[in-house]
Structure 1
Amino acid sequence: MEIISNPQELQTLCLMLRSEGKKIGLVPTMGYFHEGHLSLMDAARKQCDVLIVSLFVNPTQFGENEDLDAYPHDMERDSILAEEHGVDILFAPVRDDMYFDNHSTWVEVPDLAANLCGKSRPIHFRGVATVVTKLFMTAQPHVAVFGQKDWQQLAVIKRMVRDLNIPVDVQGHEIVREDSGLALSSRNVYLTEEEKAVAPNIQKGLQKMRDQVAAGESDAAKLKQDLAAFYAAAIPGSIIDYIEIVHPENINILKKVEDSALCAVALQVGKARLIDNLLIKV
């Protein structure tokens, strides 16, 4: 496995690889790999000749008072894991090589970023869309794989690629969970033992909502109210950022669950902001 930090060096190499007919796969990450990241690598590995994983904690998607400085990292461990999962190139740039001091160009998908995480983190998806565009331009991938835990992010990137005619096949990969049902996240390391014991109730609450819909409840306000009450009892001390039921493609808020709907939640549990979702099909 080769480790490259310079964007121009990677771009030159990838343009050459494309000219040779090689199919390039990309898995963008912020590092501190867990089984979720590794499953994305495995899925991409099956589809490409050259697998690139980017490892870059993107500062432009963090707002004030968020955990940019505290975000977990372990380059040595990540390098070993990446190589074990068939990664050919680990792209690990530094901030100054990704963003010039007078950087002033941004990519935004405002319609899909208005709700959910975009509402409480107003600059987040501007940063995500911009850095992913830069990664696509640098790595020149044919296919890129993202996790569905960040469903809204995946929707934003798919729309961005469609609207800008970027020739990348953007794929979503199912959420990987601990045996308890807790969605894997690099931020899970922030949880205390007590918090980790109750955090799986995030997914259990979503499953209860799905059961309510299966039993005939379709009013979104009622479903969200019941889920909020469940979280208050089952995850004491947690703070709900949002509980929403949205259209899975355009992320518009739904008043009734009449067809496919995505229930997405974000909760602050101790120091960790945890997100999860469940696709409900009527």
Structure 2
Amino acid sequence: MEVFRELAGLRAALAAAAGEGREVALVPTMGALHAGHIALIEAARRPGACVVASIFVNPRQFGAGEDLSRYPRKELSDIAMLNEAGCDLVWLPPVEAMYPAGFATSIAVGGVSEGLDGAARPGHFDGVATVVAKLFNQVQPARAYFGEKDFQQLAVIRRLVADLDFAVEIVGVPTQRDDDGLALSSRNVYLDEEQRAKAVALPRALGQAARAIAGGTAPDAALAEARATLTAAGFDVDYVELVDAGSLLPDPPADRRRQLLAAARLGSTRLIDNLAVSPTI
């Protein structure tokens, strides 16, 4: 496995892979890797693929007062995990390589970015769209892999690719969870022992709401119960919403694919999760 911090070296390696007839698969990450990221690498390892993982803590997707300065950075262990998982190339650009002096461009994706986390974290998805567009241009992948845990982010990236004609297939990979159901996240390391025990209330509340809605309970009642359950467990709830799984618009009819999305805080740690609503219990 090769590690690159300069774009010229990365592009030379990608050109060599192309010369061998290998299609490039990209797994963008912000590091602090866990089993969820490794699932993305494993999904990307199709026969003949050249798997590229990027590690970049993107300052443009963090708002004022968010956790940019303390976001976990584990470069050496990340590289070891990627090597063991069978990654071929790692792109580790410094901030000045991604945003050199005079950088003045930002990409805003409308529609799917505007509610939920788009409302709770203004500017967040502009930062996501901008850095992902740069990564696509730098790496030129045939496919790119993203976790479905970040459901709204995945929708934003699909819209970005469709609207700007990027020649890349976006592949969503199912959410990876701990044994008790908590979605894996780099931010889980912020939770102390007591908070970690409480955190499982998030997937459980979503599961209960999903079953209730599928069984005929009015969505507003099921969502209110989920919010109350989370509040009682010690969460400060940003949102729990039922949306159309494609457009992310609220109040979807029952014959559409529907998704429950939630964001809530335990202390200073913000957790997100989502769950599909089955047409039957």
Identify whether the pair has TM-score above 0.5, normalized to the shorter chain.
Answer: yes
Partner of 1:152: 152
* 1:25 and 1:47 in contact (8 A); partners too: no
Q: Distance in 2 between matches of 1:155 and 1:214?
A: 23
* 1:109 and 1:160 in contact (8 A); partners too: yes
Per the alignment, in what secondary structure is the counterpart of residue 103 of structure 1?
A: coil
The structure-2 alpha-carbon separation of the partners of 1:174 and 1:255, relative to structure 1 and needing over 3 Å to count, comes to closer
Letter paired with 2:249: N
Per the alignment, in what secondary structure is the counterpart of residue 101 of structure 1?
A: coil
The structure-2 alpha-carbon separation of the partners of 1:90 and 1:232, relative to structure 1 and needing over 3 Å to count, comes to same
Partner of 2:131: 131
Q: Distance in 2 between matches of 1:157 and 1:15?
A: 25
Partner of 1:166: 166
Q: Distance in 1 between matches of 2:256 and 2:169?
A: 26
Q: Distance in 1 between matches of 2:123 and 2:254?
A: 29
2:268 is aligned with 1:276: no
Q: Distance in 1 between matches of 2:149 and 2:99?
A: 27
Q: Distance in 1 between matches of 2:81 and 2:37?
A: 10
Partner of 1:231: 230
**How far does residue 276 in structure 1 lie from its aligned partner after superposition?**
0.1
Partner of 1:11: 11
Q: Distance in 2 between matches of 1:214 and 1:164?
A: 36
TM-score by length of 2: 0.95
TM-score by length of 1: 0.95
Partner of 2:82: 82
- Output aligned runs, 1:41-52, within 5 Å: 41-46=41-46, 48-52=48-52
**How far does residue 48 in structure 1 lie from its aligned partner after superposition?**
4.5
Per the alignment, in what secondary structure is the counterpart of residue 216 of structure 2?
A: coil
* 2:246 and 2:257 in contact (8 A); partners too: no
Partner of 1:198: 198
Partner of 1:248: 245
Letter paired with 2:192: T
* 2:252 and 2:258 in contact (8 A); partners too: no
Q: Distance in 2 between matches of 1:108 and 1:33?
A: 27
**How far does residue 222 in structure 1 lie from its aligned partner after superposition?**
1.8
* 1:11 and 1:137 in contact (8 A); partners too: no
- Output aligned runs, 1:253-272, within 5 Å: 253-254=250-251, 257-272=254-269
Letter paired with 1:46: R
Q: RMSD value over aligned CA atoms?
A: 1.4
Length, aligned pairs only? 279
Q: Distance in 2 between matches of 1:56 and 1:3?
A: 13
